[in-house]
A and B are shown apart, each in its own frame.
Chain A
Amino acid sequence: MSRVNTAAQASRMPWETQSSTTGWKTAFLSASLFARLLPALVLLLLLVGVGSVFGVERFPPPDFSGHAVPQLVVPNPQPRSTGWLDVAVLALGLAVASWLSLRQRSRRGVVILSLASLAYFGFWRRGCVCAIGSIQNVALGIADPTYAVPLAVIALFTLPLVVALVWGRGFCAGVCPHGALQDLVLVKPLKVPGWLDECLRVLPWIHLALAVLLAATGTLFLICKFDPFVGIFRMAGPRVMLVSGVALLVLSMFVGRPYCRYLCPYGALLGVAARFAKWRPTVTPGTCTQCRLCECSCPFGALNPPMPAKQGRERIASGRQRIVLLALMLPLAALLFGWLGGKVGLASLTLHPEGKLATLVQAQEQGTLIGTPPDELTAFRQHAADRLTVFARATALEARFLYLGRWIGVAFGLVLALKLARIFFPASSPDYETDSGRCVSCTRCFSACPYELLRRGQPVSLPSEGGNRGSS
């Protein structure tokens, strides 16, 4: 093999080892010299044994006199629902959830709605028409002009987000079967320490970034592949899926909604949308007396204590600090994570079938492949596939992974910087308020508020020790 282009060798290829002298880009160029010999080679291979692949009649079918040869009969595709019923159920569920959490303020209503959603979207639809997964369809649809996203899936992706922009995360409260399942088994919520909570809340963004990268490149649907609860809805699945589902379900008996808070990529998007919500659940129906009774009522760490606003000079200084921090952090985080995203993109090239094949062919040609050749190479050899095409495709794919990885990394960096800014400079609030981004509208905190109990006409029980003080 002649070495044509040394510059090409020096370029970074994820499957190139430092010691290798013949990168496949070189091979790509030199092998074109053999292009003229290719037809003869293909003909030879066809003659030798490839014929078996295409179903050559080695044994001529017999001519029966008294037996009719049956015909192959294949089942017709079943007519499938276009998904508009699911969209209608979703829209209805969202409307009812918003009404129950904001107007009706009814925990019982939300529980009943959760059960209904769990039954329909979970066990009836088998968890497979899902707003969480629709992220991937949308990502692939935007990245790949040839991929058509069904209209119902577009609606499934958009509706909960639009509702979150107006009324908060009613979707999480009672429509999402994943949320409903975890919420219904919650028996003894333990408080997750603040620092751990903040750290873990980065995970959904990592999940989202990887899922978008892999979906937009058409590699695989990560969210579906590692969905913990779909196995439970289907009562079947790979062992990993079932074990992780049951483990997460046991965990969610003691930690409020671990999947929603620390894994769900759609929840991350909904959280951002809900920050701009026009209305959101308020703990008290009237005025807050800061009695602190609601303080421990939220199992999801979504209830913020009053945060006095800074005054005068302090406030101006704090505002300046925030601007300086953001001005420094945003570009820095964007650059750092853009670079990191590019690395991750290149590393995940081998997850794509075409990238994997190119890597394996490369490894075999260099003799670095140990053990029995994998099925990919068997198929490659058996069909005498064109290695130049394989490499050319992998090169195009590599550029795509790098580009997408970088931009997704930049977006991830910006999100992280804004998250940090929010931790260092929390927004001021006069009373106990639900954190609009984190509150899933479960309505648990309402029944802790004495004003709410008064509104419902229920007895308000205050501990005698506190209640008697100062009275006659």
Chain B
Amino acid sequence: MSDEPSIPAGENQRPTGERRRPAGSVGHPAQHSPVIEPPLPSASLPAAQFSRHAISRRELLKSGARGASLLGFGAAAGFLSGRESKDATRWQIDPNQCIQCGRCATDCVLEVSAVKCVHSYGMCGYCKLCTGYFEPEPINLDEGAENQLCPTGAIKREFIEDPYYEYSINKELCVGCGKCVKGCNMFGNGSLYLQVCHDRCINCNICSIATACPAQAFHQVPLTKPYLLRGKGASAK
């Protein structure tokens, strides 16, 4: 910040180099009275040259433009607010259009994407060899990290009864990469799919992921029904 300008000495002389101490100077008492005076009618700048006519024309044009602009802004604002609808919307992924390209994880404006994997348990086959959980060629069919498809280990696998296992998503760990979704949709029932989680989504004007989505799977859905869920028995909390 430069509150005080640094002007080299010698640059601050008047062009004419002419200074006079005025009679009743109003300088600071502690100082030598500064050289302040009304502008001198010098040869280069005669006072009469700014004729009333020129100034008034410029002022007239300015106020005309000002009034026109104000009217324009008012009209535009009125026009737009007439279109404002009361129906609030939120962004959501249509799971049937999603191709699990992985851009949900990378293109969200949030540091960790608002898109996460959800699991419609009612549709799940509870498979022992879950293609959403395991690597394509797992070494063992167990919970070892080397066998898991999920890069953050966000899927929990729990034995229910032979040969059924239950899979659940840890939302804290899920980054929305859609790797498990791809596996589940390719060979399974498609009970794992991606959704915009509205506790995190900040509902941008134009969703950054939507513009990057190659399948155009992002849509604005009504706020009253903000999820596009598969199967039955899903509820919002």
A binding-site residues for B, Cβ under 8 Å? 52-62, 64, 66-67, 69-78, 80, 107, 111, 128, 133, 136-138, 140-142, 145, 147-151, 153-155, 157-158, 161-162, 165-166, 183-184, 186-189, 218-221, 224-225, 234, 236-237, 273, 275-278, 287-297, 299, 306, 308-309, 311, 353-354, 357, 374-376, 378-379, 382-383, 427-428, 430-431, 444-445, 447-448, 450-451, 454, 457-463, 465-467, 469-472
Contact = CB atoms under 8 A, between A and B. Distances in A.
A78 B198 contact: yes
B214 A379 contact: yes
A281 to B, nearest CB: 15
Given A67-B160, A76-B236, A158-B77, A375 B84 contact: no
19 contacts: A53-B185, A59-B125, A70-B166, A71-B235, A72-B122, A72-B229, A74-B197, A80-B203, A149-B84, A158-B77, A234-B109, A297-B7, A447-B4, A451-B36, A460-B28, A462-B34, A463-B10, A466-B12, A466-B19
B214 A289 contact: no
B96 interface: yes
Interface of B: 1-7, 9-15, 17-21, 26-28, 30-32, 34-39, 44-45, 47, 49-50, 54, 58, 62-63, 65-66, 69-70, 73, 76-77, 79-81, 83-85, 87, 90, 95-97, 99, 101, 103, 109, 111, 118-127, 160-161, 164, 166, 168, 185-191, 193, 195, 197-199, 201-206, 208, 211, 213-217, 223, 226-227, 229-231, 233-237
Given A55-B190, A430-B45, A137 B27 contact: no
A236 B84 contact: no
Contacts of A273: 69
Given A60-B125, A72-B233, A308-B45, A148 B216 contact: no
Main DSSP-derived SS at the B contact region? loop
B215 A78 contact: no
Given A375-B101, A379-B214, A220 B69 contact: no
Contacts of B87: 148
B121 A71 contact: yes
B164 A145 contact: no
Given A67-B161, A462-B12, A463-B9, A61 B126 contact: yes
A157 B76 CA distance: 10
Contacts of B101: 375, 378-379
Contacts of A137: 205
A54 B190 contact: yes
B70 A76 contact: no
Contacts of A378: 99, 101, 214
